Amino acid sequence: METFSRDGLVFDVRDHRPAGGGGTDVVVCLHGFPQDSRAFDAVAQRLTGRGLRVLAPDQRGYSPGARPPGRAAYLLPELVGDVLALADDAGAERVHVVGHDWGGVVAWALAADHPDRVRSATVLSTPHPAAMRAAVLRGTQALRSTYVAGFQLPALPERLLLARSGAVLRTLLVRGGLPAERAAGYARRMAEPGALSAALGWYRALPLQRGRTGPARVPVTFLHGERDPFFSPTAVRATAAHALGGFTAAGLPTGHWVPEREPVAVADAVLAAVRRGA
């Protein structure tokens, strides 16, 4: 499959299949900001080599055909519904979910609210939302999250990040640890008309969110970069209490960009989760 549709929106998908056809186990990989599905290319290559089918969508706001206007279009139930629609179109009753950054938020919600559709969740970088909320009140998490408040401003983040034809965003990503080639690709994508505003819609929908993500009810593997500037050790440590279906955690010697920097570790964690669920 190359695309799937939901409510009139068309999403691009990278459908990585093992040699000889589709695997019986399906892994859905969900990127964060300001990535796209290419973040998981190296992970997918290793997983398909072990017989798994990997679906990596360009999520809502990132696919050119799925950039609806307005903050409400980016509420978490919509983001979760997109993943369920992808699984339906792929004919997968249950999937293994991998999520990084904002994709990790979606993975936590799927693991909490749809255990009938999720076999396992591998969450990269992002602590459980409840652990994040608690950590904001103590330690360094509030300071680490100040950029989220800045993203609420209209128009100004777009002007700043896309200055000099996206060179500012590209430079920030490289300084944050992304490989230069990958940073340049993401920056080019965000420079498309309306793309960055749509991607920022995920942040701008936060004040409208209703309800809270409950504990995960499927097996969870949590991989976090030990030098991640965005998530505090307090939030990372508190995450275990919000995983009721089994929990495995590991720190990696990297920063925030776990799928790009540690694809072997990510793929090995997913393979271990698949084996445990066999």
Residue type, 109: A
Computed over every residue of the chain, the mean pLDDT equals 95
Query: Which CATH number is associated with domain 3-141+211-277?
Result: 3.40.50.1820
SS3 162: coil
* pLDDT digit string, tens, across residues 95-117: 999 999 999 999 999 999 999 99
- Is 125's pLDDT higher than 90? yes
* pLDDT digit string, tens, across residues 39-51: 999 999 999 999 9
Tell me the pTM.
0.96
Quick one: pLDDT at residue 276? 86
CA separation, residue 209 to residues 73, 150, 195, 202, 204 (Å): 11, 18, 22, 10, 10
Quick one: pLDDT at residue 278? 58
H-helix or E-strand spanning residue 224: strand 220-225
Q: Residues 172, 176, 178, CA angle at the centre, nearest 5°?
A: 95
Residue 65 near residue 120, CB atoms below 8 Å: no
Mutual orientation of helices 180-190 and 167-175 as an angle, nearest 10°?
Answer: 140
Residue 270 near residue 46, CB atoms below 8 Å: no
- Written as six digits, the tokens of 15 are 């459908």
* pLDDT digit string, tens, across residues 39-93: 999 999 999 999 999 999 999 999 999 999 999 999 999 999 999 999 999 999 9
- Written as six digits, the tokens of 190 are 């965000």
- Is 192's pLDDT higher than 70? yes
Name which of 71, 97, 100, 68 is nearest 83 in CA terms: 97
* pLDDT digit string, tens, across residues 212-233: 999 999 999 999 999 999 999 9
- Is 160's pLDDT higher than 90? yes
- Is 180's pLDDT higher than 80? yes
- List, in sequence order, every residue forming a beta bridge with 96; answer none if it has no partner: 27, 120
Residue type, 4: F
What's the rounded Cα separation, in Å, for the pair 132 and 95?
A: 26
Q: What residue segments make up the domains of the chain, in order of their start?
A: 3-141+211-277
